[in-house]
Amino acid sequence: MKKINFAIIAHIDHGKSTLADRFLEVCNAISKREMQQQMLDTLEVERERGITVKSQTARLKYLYKGQKGDEWTLNLIDTPGHVDFSFEVRRALAACEGAIVLVDASQGIEAQTIANVYRAMEENVKLVPVINKIDLPSAQVESVKIQIKEILGIDDEPALISAKTGIGIENLLDMLIERIPVPSGKIENEFQALLIDSWFDTYLGVVLLVCVKEGKITTGQQFKFSTAQVTYKIEKLGFLTPKLITANELSAGDVGIIIANIRNVRDCIIGDTLLLPNSKLTALKSFTVQRAVVFCGLFPPDTSLYQDLKDAIEKLSLNDASLQIEPTHSPALGVGFRCGFLGLLHLEVIQQRLEQEFDISVIITAPNVEYEIVQTNGDRFKIHDATHMPSVNKIDKVYEPWVKVTIFAPEDYLGDIIKLCLERRAKDQEIKYVNQIGNTQNIACTYKMPLSEIIFDFHDKLKSLSRGYASFDYEEAGMEESEVVVVNILVNGTNVDGLSTIMHESNAVSQGRWMCEKLKDEIPRQLFAIAIQAAIGGKIIARETVSALRKDVTAKCYGGDVSRKRKLLDKQKAGKKRMKEFSIGNVTIPTSAMLKVLRRS
């Protein structure tokens, strides 16, 4: 049977999941009674947010109308469109020989479309351009055709479809069979497969999703992971259609499921190669795991829940190889995990999945990035926590990560975009005009700016000032020397380690003042005044005072000479002074106050 493997790549909201639904319908992969919108978006968080978080696969059967044969097997992989989940796109492309480049006829080429096309070109994947939403009144098909040719450099004639109404879907399937090459692997060769995904099932253990590159494997055979060198016996094989259908074998070119009663999640490394136990073959070329760029702490609300949180995060990391984890301890929040994410949306999705799939709520500290420290003695090391920053007299240089940001937006919003970027310490690189969509002239702005300036609310502000029309993508641009400082928070003269943060010196005073004001509102009043200070080294840059509670000690005085009241007030004042001397550093800071400061934006 002839087969092809292909993915769908595009910018967010260009219709990938809707197109996947039409493919399922046309190929009769699922009955009309079972059909629902976004069929391949199986996570609750995906349906709530209307986005794709995980790449999902479906094996389809299609009767081709041309001369290449009758029934074809199409292995479809639907991918996310948001920049935070680009690693899902990478591993999907590693399993494919072709990819649909889906472009919205009313929006045109956007930032993530270009980024995904470049990734596909790196993998030598055949690109099939497709223009979606041609039935919209605002569709500008001819302009988008020019963009695909000039911006993406794809000369092939694009397919014209409407994924919502089903226009052009069968013609597109025929085009995929004609343009995408079949897998080059041979069934006669020795078995070799690439692990592209895995997840944990309570009853089945770890479920593996593999792309068989060479040979075949059958139920009952053994295989090994090339990295862990651990051998397992296959208990069940199958395909996702998207329902699990059991099979007796997987052969070259198949994307299928392997179940082998695997309970140790550490044996399964995404991108690893599966081989026969005595095989002399080397591992396949793996896709690069994207490096985390945003770091924050995840802590259980109660230390008794630490083990539950640990088990849940390990199972999520099995399903999401881009999630980085290491144990940590906070003086304020106790034991927890220091986690690395690909972006803030990635962080929010992990938090939501912990709550929905494992019923675990977590405390999240302020996100930050990784800095490189060069000490005066020549030592170099990286930190992503202010508590690990050495003293100022030991630091020679500090480097922070920078990124190259590409922004696509209508020309009308250029002034606001430039202002926003310059506020974030951006360095102007290039501003150019791209093809016009209707009466709107689009621009492409390229800037270089610190990663720490875009991980909080840059995306939200960009969308707000452009009324949702602007899109952006970023890529790593190395490390640059920077003037960063550690802002410490002192409560009654005692440093609160959990609130220390690293930031650029230009933002230090304003952020320090904001943190002091927020703590003043959140810390309960005591019988003595509480000083809250923000400091850089030994220099105080901001201060607020929580005023003392005052008991009415003169209530028992009903008139009489004022000296009686004054005597009682002086006695109270002396008592408060004595109390404060014994209470310095013993102020209790509520967890709610810590969170409101740590979650600052």
Give the pLDDT mean for 113-141. 84
Radius of gyration of the chain (CA): 29
pLDDT at residue 45 tops 80: no
Domain with CATH 3.40.50.300 in the chain: 2-179
pLDDT at residue 389 tops 70: yes
pLDDT at residue 336 tops 80: yes
Which token pair is 556?
């028992």
pLDDT at residue 35 tops 80: no
Q: Which CATH number is associated with domain 294-364?
A: 3.30.70.870
> Which pLDDT tens digit goes with each residue over 90-109?
777 878 888 888 888 888 88
Percent of the chain with pLDDT over 90: 0
> Which pLDDT tens digit goes with each residue over 524-536?
777 777 888 888 8
> Which pLDDT tens digit goes with each residue over 490-499?
887 777 766 7
pLDDT at residue 583 tops 50: no
What confidence score (pLDDT) does residue 409 get?
A: 79
pLDDT band at 55; cut points 50, 70, 90 = low
Indicate the fold that domain 2-179 takes in CATH.
Answer: Rossmann fold (3.40.50)
Neighbour-count burial of 180, counting CB atoms closer than 10 A to its CB (0-12 exposed, 13-18 middle, 19+ buried):
buried
Does an H or E element contain 143, and which? Answer: helix 141-150
Residues facing residue 540 across a β-bridge = 535
pLDDT at residue 69 tops 50: yes
Give the pLDDT mean for 307-334. 77
Check: CB of residue 309 under 8 Å from CB of residue 300.
yes
Give the pLDDT mean for 344-353. 78
What confidence score (pLDDT) does residue 401 get?
A: 87
- Domain 486-598 listed as CATH 3.40.50.2300: no
Separation between Cα atoms, residue 336 and residue 329, nearest integer Å: 6
Separation between Cα atoms, residue 12 and residue 112, nearest integer Å: 8
Domain with CATH 3.30.70.240 in the chain: 395-481
Q: Is the peptide bond before 242 cis (omega within 30 degrees of 0)?
A: yes
- DSSP for 79-130 reads ---SGGGHHHHHHHHTT-SEEEEEEETTT-S-HHHHHHHHHHHHTTPEEEEE
Separation between Cα atoms, residue 489 and residue 338, nearest integer Å: 21
- Domain 192-275 listed as CATH 2.40.30.10: yes
Which token pair is 570?
């002086």
pLDDT band at 7; cut points 50, 70, 90 = confident
User: Looking at residue 592, what DSSP letter applies?
Assistant: H
Separation between Cα atoms, residue 125 and residue 131, nearest integer Å: 19
Separation between Cα atoms, residue 401 and residue 20, nearest integer Å: 37
Domain with CATH 2.40.30.10 in the chain: 192-275
Neighbour-count burial of 78, counting CB atoms closer than 10 A to its CB (0-12 exposed, 13-18 middle, 19+ buried):
buried
> Which pLDDT tens digit goes with each residue over 552-576?
656 567 666 667 777 777 777 776 6
Neighbour-count burial of 501, counting CB atoms closer than 10 A to its CB (0-12 exposed, 13-18 middle, 19+ buried):
buried
SS (H, E, C) 306-367: HHHHHHHHHHHHHHCCCCEEEEEEECCCEEEEEEEECCHHHHHHHHHHHHHHHCCCCEECCC
pLDDT at residue 551 tops 70: no
What confidence score (pLDDT) does residue 531 get?
A: 85
pLDDT at residue 187 tops 80: yes
Q: Which residue has the higher pLDDT, 219 or 42?
A: 219
Question: Which residues, including other chains, have CB under 8 Å from residue 503's CB and lie 6 or more apart?
Answer: 452, 484, 485, 487, 511
Which token pair is 137?
């009144």
First to last CA, the chain: 55
Q: Which residue has the higher pLDDT, 293 or 183?
A: 183
What confidence score (pLDDT) does residue 270 get?
A: 77
pLDDT band at 239; cut points 50, 70, 90 = confident
Q: Which CATH number is associated with domain 395-481?
A: 3.30.70.240
Arithmetic mean of pLDDT over the chain: 78
Which token pair is 411?
């020309």
Give the pLDDT mean for 256-260. 87
pTM assigned to the model: 0.66
pLDDT at residue 601 tops 50: no
Weakest mean pLDDT among 64-68, 356-360, 501-505: 64-68
Domain with CATH 3.30.70.2570 in the chain: 486-598
List strand residue ranges (DSSP E) for 93-241, in order: 98-104, 126-132, 159-160, 192-201, 205-214, 216-218, 222-225, 231-233, 236-240
Q: Is the dihedral of CA 41, 359, 316, 352 positive or negative?
A: positive
What confidence score (pLDDT) does residue 582 get?
A: 39
What confidence score (pLDDT) does residue 288 get?
A: 60
Residues recorded for the chain: 601
pLDDT band at 485; cut points 50, 70, 90 = confident
Give the pLDDT mean for 199-222. 84
What confidence score (pLDDT) does residue 108 get?
A: 81
What confidence score (pLDDT) does residue 48 get?
A: 52
Check: CB of residue 336 under 8 Å from CB of residue 297.
yes
Percent of the chain with pLDDT over 70: 81
pLDDT at residue 384 tops 50: yes
What confidence score (pLDDT) does residue 83 get?
A: 58
